[in-house]
């Protein structure tokens, strides 16, 4: 039996809740309908998040994203709605959703929406130059 789209996002326990780690996902086949013309809009979604106690389960995310296929949404609305639903389901430390919509009428649209858990501060990023990385492996 084929899968059905769903507005339900399932989660699973974070396997390393004591550590900040970055999860990156790309969804290259997002579609919804233009609320003005009814024509399809296509986008690639980029989801980046640092989980707290739970992570989003991938099959439920796929079915959730699929649920927008026959719905009319402005780009700004659908991006923020998806972020809000993901934040509600997972309660992450940090989450960013970038929606890159393909050209329509000669215009590309990128919408970026973010959430930060109150009080959460990211650890400083460690940058290693190519020289440092090579010298550290030589002992």
Q: Give the list of residues 6+ apart from residue 101 with CB closer than 8 angstroms, or none.
A: 41, 42, 43, 75, 108, 109, 110, 111
Predicted confidence at residue 123, as pLDDT, reads 85
Predicted confidence at residue 127, as pLDDT, reads 87
pLDDT in tens, 59-87: 999 999 999 999 999 999 999 999 999 99
- Percent pLDDT > 70 in the chain is 92
pLDDT in tens, 94-109: 999 999 999 888 889 9
Predicted confidence at residue 82, as pLDDT, reads 98
pLDDT in tens, 49-60: 999 999 999 999
Predicted confidence at residue 139, as pLDDT, reads 53
Predicted confidence at residue 136, as pLDDT, reads 57
Can you say whether the dihedral through the CA atoms of 22, 30, 35, 87 is positive or negative? Answer: negative
Which residue numbers are catalytic?
34, 41
Full set of structural domains in the chain with CATH: 11-137 (3.30.1130.10)
Give the pLDDT band (50/70/90) at residue 131: low
More confident residue, 128 or 41: 41
Q: Is the pLDDT of residue 137 over 60?
A: no
Tokens of 93: 């430390």
Give the pLDDT band (50/70/90) at residue 132: low
Distance CA 9, CA 63 (A): 9
């Amino acid at each position: 039996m084929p899968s059905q789209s769903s507005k339900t996002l399932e989660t699973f326990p974070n396997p390393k809740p004591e550590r900040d780690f970055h999860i990156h996902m790309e969804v290259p086949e997002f579609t919804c309908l233009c609320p003005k013309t009814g024509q399809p809009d296509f986008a690639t979604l980029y989801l980046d998040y640092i989980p707290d106690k739970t992570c989003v389960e991938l099959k439920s995310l796929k079915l959730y994203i699929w649920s927008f296929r026959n719905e009319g949404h402005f780009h700004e609305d659908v991006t923020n709605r998806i972020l809000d639903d993901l934040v509600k389901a997972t309660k992450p430390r940090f989450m960013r959703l970038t929606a890159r919509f393909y050209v329509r009428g000669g215009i590309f649209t990128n919408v970026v929406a973010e959430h930060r858990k109150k009080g959460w501060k990211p650890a400083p990023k460690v940058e290693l130059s190519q020289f440092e990385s090579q010298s550290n492996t030589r002992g």
